[in-house]
Structure 1
């Protein structure tokens, strides 16, 4: 069942510049604290959804061109919501529940840890302090970051699709590719992401097949509150700030 659904999702998402990878709820719950557990049966099928560099041209720009309203909170988030909604309509044979990377509970706790989801699904490796030998930072907390084996840091994790009515005991877990192979490179990655994320260099920690276009770089390099001007939109109560979230916001 997972293989068939994965193929159908990929055929629908691929032309829009998205990728997806399957995982079981049990795999995710095993990696997170109980307060972050997803309340589904262990064998419930889910997919993490990534946006590749091509999403900007294939999905985002067409969505902006067709928008009928002039006031939005976050154009990228609204775009992903739009396509997730269309996807659910096109897969009406199954009940699909979605959790977006930006969704939070009233206490500001994320509803989904998207980097963990990407890691357990084998889509991207989630590099954290525990992956570094002889930690050079002491007690200082370093935020982790996912790296894709093909796109490096030139991608984003947009959320998960959960199929509550599909249980797949046969699905085998695919480990993520440890593409940042040396300890020195892992230290460089975490330091670049935590201290110099604005210069983009953490994204090129490995050789990549594709990067964001110059237009896309300009959009994401522009302060969030000013991005609306580039699109001819009026921003309303923009959610977020200029610091990256968990690699799901740009």
Structure 2
């Protein structure tokens, strides 16, 4: 596709037509919106009007993309299975939808040589309007003294039952110049609600209750919950019991949890 024929509506339409049936959603943003809220050391090195797209996975991704990916015997025991599935589907969509276009695809688990993430997933989701990123600074008269509370994104339809997977940057031209920023929906507007959300995420994230801060239209299936409840290093062994992998494939299992919104919890 020639660069001159591509606009934001076309980009999002093509990506969603390719990825939505597999449980992904795409949201556009300008690089300038992202860079405006970050210090220079974390900004992306593209002009402000450069178009970027953040891709989320919804609860449907597990059954509609991940399990079929395993059934096709596409998974190898060298890296996290979810990472492999996400990379396969999103990279394939980018190359098939935009042949000839320069699209820089970064994934949530990728790090720069400096050990900083290639992009800040929750910041990208917030400035795109996809999900509201609730941070400690969003709570007036904080009750935690000097304790650090990590922030968490809330999706207006899925609550916390989703993950931010990738950022696509379209390098060829300033396709985002006419894009108008949409604020994310503030699902947790009260001070008390935000305190409860951040405490649930930081102190009790393993029980997953923070994900239900708003009533979700869909949550993870029981099989998906079982998978993400297992320690990352043991997931290859679990997949073997499900019949997806040879029994010895857990010898080179992953070392970090990839089912994340950001470098932390799923």
RMSD: 1.8
Deviations 1:98-125 (A, max 9, x none): 0100001223211110000000000000
Aligned with residue 129 of structure 1, among 121, 133, 136: 136
Secondary structure, aligned partner of 2:26: strand
Picking from 194, 208, 212, the partner of 2:202 is 194
The alpha-carbon distance between structure 1 residues 161 and 50, as it changes in their structure 2 partners (threshold 3 A), is: same
Does the 8 Å contact 1:25/1:42 carry over to 2?
yes
SS at match of 1:165: coil
Deviations 1:124-143 (A, max 9, x none): 00000111111001111100
Q: Distance in 1 between matches of 2:109 and 2:188?
A: 27
8 A contact 1:72–1:78 mirrored in 2: no
- Equivalents in 1 of 2:131, 2:76: separation in Å? 35
Post-superposition Cα deviations, 1:162-199, rounded to whole Å, max 9, x if no partner, equal 11113121100010000112111110000000000000
Aligned positions of 1:83-232 closer than 5 A: 83-90=89-96, 91-167=98-174, 168-232=176-240
After TM superposition, the score normalised by the length of structure 2 is 0.89
Give a deviation string over 1:67-117, Cα, whole Å, max 9, x none: 246423100001111112211221214221101000012232111100000
Q: Is the 8 A contact 1:99 1:112 kept in 2?
A: yes
Question: When the two structures are aligned, how many residues end up with a matched partner?
Answer: 250
**Inter-CA distance 231–121: structure 2 relative to 1 (3 Å threshold):** same
Distance of 2:225 and 2:257 partners within structure 1: 17
With over 3 angstroms needed to count, the CA separation of the structure-2 counterparts of 1:152 and 1:63, relative to structure 1, is same
| 2:262 is the counterpart of 1:246 | yes
Is contact 2:233–2:256 with CA below 8 Å preserved after alignment?
Answer: no
Q: Is the 8 A contact 2:82 2:258 kept in 1?
A: no
Mark the runs of 5 or more structure 2 residues left unpaired by the alignment.
1-6
Note closer, same or farther for the CA distance 1:69–1:115 as it changes in structure 2 (3 Å cut). closer
Task: State how far apart, in whole Å, the 2-side matches of 1:200 and 1:6 are.
Answer: 31
Please say which of residues 223-232 and 240-249 is displaced more in the overlay. Answer: 240-249
CA–CA separation in structure 2 for the residues paired with 1:5 and 1:242 = 27
TM-fit CA distance, 1:200: 0.5
> For residue 48 of structure 1, what is the aligned residue in structure 2?
54
The match for 2:63 is 57
Q: 1:16 aligns with which of 14, 22, 47?
A: 22
